[in-house]
Amino acid sequence: MGYVKLVFLMLFSLLCQLAFCSSLPHLCPKDQALALLQFKQMFPKYAYSKLLSWNKSIDCCSWDGVHCNEATGQVIELNLASYGLQGKFHSNSSLFKLSNLKRLDLSENNFSGSYISPKFGELSSLTHLDLSYSNFTGLIPVEISRLSKLHVLRIGSDLRFKPQNFELLLKNLTQLRELHLDHVNISSTIPLNFSSHLTTLHLDDTQLYGILPERIFHLSNLQFLYLSFNPQLNVKFPTTKWNSSASLQMLHLYGVNATGRIPESFGHLTSLGGLTIVSCNLSGSIPKPLWNLTNIGILYLGDSHLEGPIPSNVSGMQYLHTLYLSSNHLNGTIPSWIFSLPSLWNLDLSDNHFSGNIQEFKYKTLVRVSLKQNQLQGPIPKSLLNHHPLWFLLLSHNNLSGEIASTICNLKTLRVLDLGSNNLEGTIPLCLGEMSGLVILDLSNNSLSGTINTTFNIGNVLEVITFNGNKLEGKVP
Ligand SMILES: *[C@@H]1O[C@H](CO)[C@@H](O)[C@H](O)[C@H]1NC(C)=O
Ligand SMILES: *[C@@H]1O[C@H](CO)[C@@H](O)[C@H](O)[C@H]1NC(C)=O
Ligand SMILES: *[C@@H]1O[C@H](CO)[C@@H](O)[C@H](O)[C@H]1NC(C)=O
Ligand SMILES: *[C@@H]1O[C@H](CO)[C@@H](O)[C@H](O)[C@H]1NC(C)=O
Ligand SMILES: *[C@@H]1O[C@H](CO)[C@@H](O)[C@H](O)[C@H]1NC(C)=O
Ligand SMILES: *[C@@H]1O[C@H](CO)[C@@H](O)[C@H](O)[C@H]1NC(C)=O
Ligand SMILES: *[C@@H]1O[C@H](CO)[C@@H](O)[C@H](O)[C@H]1NC(C)=O
Ligand SMILES: *[C@@H]1O[C@H](CO)[C@@H](O)[C@H](O)[C@H]1NC(C)=O
Ligand SMILES: *[C@@H]1O[C@H](CO)[C@@H](O)[C@H](O)[C@H]1NC(C)=O
Ligand SMILES: *[C@@H]1O[C@H](CO)[C@@H](O)[C@H](O)[C@H]1NC(C)=O
Ligand SMILES: *[C@@H]1O[C@H](CO)[C@@H](O)[C@H](O)[C@H]1NC(C)=O
Ligand SMILES: *[C@@H]1O[C@H](CO)[C@@H](O)[C@H](O)[C@H]1NC(C)=O
């Protein structure tokens, strides 16, 4: 009998070596299959349509979302992101019996009103834990800090830390690469002691305060840094070369306290694809080296006190698609290189002190143009009136002159046209009344003349129409 068994085992391992193994069942331990089935039963039947494959007559290693160690059969990964699970996640959940789990993703389910159990801290093999967008609530238990092997931690929304526990978490998770805590009420300073492996920090809207440790900018693998909506967070940028300068791809600071100038050291951030420093009390000029960042796609530097001109000798920004410098004190003419950017689709220089003419745009890529509230003069460039993908054209509160060419009606996708408070003259092109997609039309406070056609506004979706302050006759339909 023993002999037959041995032969069978040898045959089995031979078959395995011939790569039949993947089609053979894993050896999912019974207790782990049972733990998973108990977990499933915690949710009402209608709330787990994706767990139908969790059937005890099938090996648990082939259930949806379950991954086992090839050799031992132990369940090491559970990926239940967006599984439509709805119901309480109790702290007696049988999931905590799966002590070999390395990755656990419970994101985008609805455990509405459940607390994060301290027992998560017992899953000591975890390298990835994702509890984001799952409607957990309450305190993040200090026991999470025991998961010292974590590389990736995502926890989100309506949660908070007890004082000091955020500090403890950062100190203890020495292997951490990615930390996502957006919208968690952290209410703490960022301590000095955190993993040197960090690549990604998402800490938007987390009530952080105090001084951001400069060490963050010197993490040599840092790629993504999001710290927006922390008005009490005091950010000072390094003035020398940053150690993250070659790796940093995204830097988003919207509504933090970054009072002062943008240092020239930004010129070293050669991998930067997106830079947002909006509503941050910045002052001074935009440093010249910033215009040398040839990989940049998004540049948002709005709602501050930036001043001075934009340099005229800039080249190589071929990926720049969003240039938002609205609400500063920038002046001088709009340099010609801006009109020749090959990828530009959102240009917003509104509410500054730019003067001079608007030049012709070289490429037809723009979807949104806002140059309103400046001191621009001259005619509306012809290229704009023939700019097919345009949805928003806002040029109000300038000194633009000349007539509104009827070619403007070629802008078939236009939704918002705001030319108010300029010196435009002549008549309103008849065809404007037939533009089918126009929602807002503002031509007020110009020198337009003629009679408003009674057929205006027929068959379109206009919601706002403003013609006052002109020399027009007739009635607004
Ligand atoms: C489990 O699978 C078997 C065989 O495929 C099937 O007969 C049975 O109805 C399934 N049970 C559940 C609970 O889905
Ligand atoms: C787990 O706890 C909840 C509430 O505390 C209880 O209703 C449920 O029966 C418990 N489940 C098990 C398997 O003990
Ligand atoms: C979380 O709960 C809120 C309110 O109960 C609900 O609007 C939201 O959709 C829920 N989120 C998920 C992912 O189910
Ligand atoms: C989430 O669950 C709560 C409580 O079970 C429920 O009131 C709410 O409607 C759910 N949200 C969604 C989007 O299903
Ligand atoms: C921090 O980690 C150490 C060992 O890695 C552990 O002994 C300690 O309990 C952890 N502290 C907390 C608060 O989890
Ligand atoms: C955040 O938590 C602190 C205490 O930890 C509390 O004082 C504050 O009101 C909370 N903020 C919000 C927006 O919930
Ligand atoms: C940071 O934490 C580590 C591990 O807990 C400790 O060895 C080190 O002394 C701490 N460093 C500082 C500056 O607190
Ligand atoms: C930058 O990196 C170098 C080399 O890895 C290191 O010696 C230096 O201390 C780092 N600087 C900072 C401010 O972290
Ligand atoms: C912003 O930081 C400056 C110093 O850098 C400080 O004087 C000011 O009080 C801070 N403002 C807020 C709202 O914290
Ligand atoms: C910008 O880059 C060019 C070459 O790519 C270089 O000649 C110039 O010195 C740089 N300017 C600044 C301010 O870094
Ligand atoms: C632009 O503003 C600066 C001060 O912010 C001023 O010195 C300069 O003369 C202005 N240039 C123009 C062309 O208005
Ligand atoms: C009003 O528009 C219609 C067609 O768009 C045109 O036939 C008519 O002559 C116009 N009337 C005036 C007074 O311009």
Convert the pLDDT of each residue in 154-211 to its tens digit: 998 889 999 999 999 999 999 999 999 999 999 999 999 999 999 999 999 999 999 9
Amino acid at 36: L
In angstroms, how far apart are the furthest CA atoms of the chain? 108
Which ligand 1 atom sits closest to the C-alpha of 56? 1
CA nearest neighbour of 289 among 270, 309, 308: 270
Rounded distance between C-alpha atoms, residue 316 and residue 406, angstroms: 35
| 38 CA to centre of own chain | 37
From 36-50, 92-106, 390-404, 409-423, the region with the lowest mean pLDDT: 36-50
Query: How many Cβ atoms are within 10 Å of 43's Cβ, its own excluded?
Result: 19
Q: What spacing in Å lies between the alpha carbon of 243 and ligand 8's midpoint?
A: 6
CB 79 within 8 A of CB 67: yes
- Residue 305 CB contacts under 8 Å (≥ 6 apart), including other chains: 281, 282, 283, 328, 329
Q: Residue 218: beta bridge partners?
A: none
List, as one string, the DSSP characters of 167-230.
HHHHHH-TT--EEE-TT-B--SPPPS---TT--EEE-TTS---EEPPGGGGG-TT--EEE--SE
Which ligand 7 atom sits closest to the C-alpha of 174? 4
Please tell me the residue having the least CA distance from ligand 10 atom 1: 292
Looking at residue 321, its pLDDT comes to 97
Q: What spacing in Å lies between the alpha carbon of 289 and ligand 10's midpoint?
A: 7
CA distances from 344 to 105, 340, 367, 409, 412 (A): 38, 9, 9, 22, 19
pLDDT at position 131 over 60: yes
Q: What spacing in Å lies between the alpha carbon of 321 and ligand 8's midpoint?
A: 33
Which residue of 148, 176, 193, 194 sits with most ligand 5 atoms within 8 Å of its CB, as the best mutation to test the pocket?
Answer: 148
CB 384 within 8 A of CB 411: no
Q: What spacing in Å lies between the alpha carbon of 178 and ligand 5's midpoint?
A: 19
Q: What spacing in Å lies between the alpha carbon of 99 and ligand 5's midpoint?
A: 18
Task: List the alpha helices (DSSP H) in 19-111.
Answer: 30-41
Mean pLDDT of 298-321: 95
CB 470 within 8 A of CB 443: yes
Backbone angles phi, psi at 214, to 5 degrees: -60, -20
Rounded distance between C-alpha atoms, residue 351 and residue 192, angstroms: 39
CA nearest neighbour of 416 among 445, 402, 446, 396: 396
Model confidence at 48, in pLDDT bands (50, 70, 90)?
A: confident
Rounded distance between C-alpha atoms, residue 448 and residue 242, angstroms: 55
Which ligand 8 atom sits closest to the C-alpha of 219? 14
pLDDT, tens digit, for every residue of 225-249? 999 999 999 999 999 989 999 999 9
- Structural domains of the chain sorted by starting position, each given as residue range(s) with its CATH number in brackets: 19-208 (3.80.10.10), 222-308 (3.80.10.10), 333-477 (3.80.10.10)
pTM: 0.88
**Four-residue CA torsion sign, 435, 436, 442, 444:** positive
Cα radius of gyration (the chain)? 30
SS3 category, 421: coil
Model confidence at 8, in pLDDT bands (50, 70, 90)?
A: very low
Looking at residue 23, its pLDDT comes to 47
Q: Show the tokens assigned to 384.
A: 């704009």
Task: Please tell me the number of the ligand nearest to residue 51's CA.
Answer: 1
If you ran DSSP here, which 8-state letter would residue 110 be given? B
CB 229 within 8 A of CB 254: yes
- Residue 4 CB contacts under 8 Å (≥ 6 apart), including other chains: none
Q: Residue 67: beta bridge partners?
A: 77
More confident residue, 455 or 269: 269
Which ligand 10 atom sits closest to the C-alpha of 289? 13
Rounded distance between C-alpha atoms, residue 57 and residue 33, angstroms: 10
Looking at residue 20, its pLDDT comes to 44
Looking at residue 49, its pLDDT comes to 78
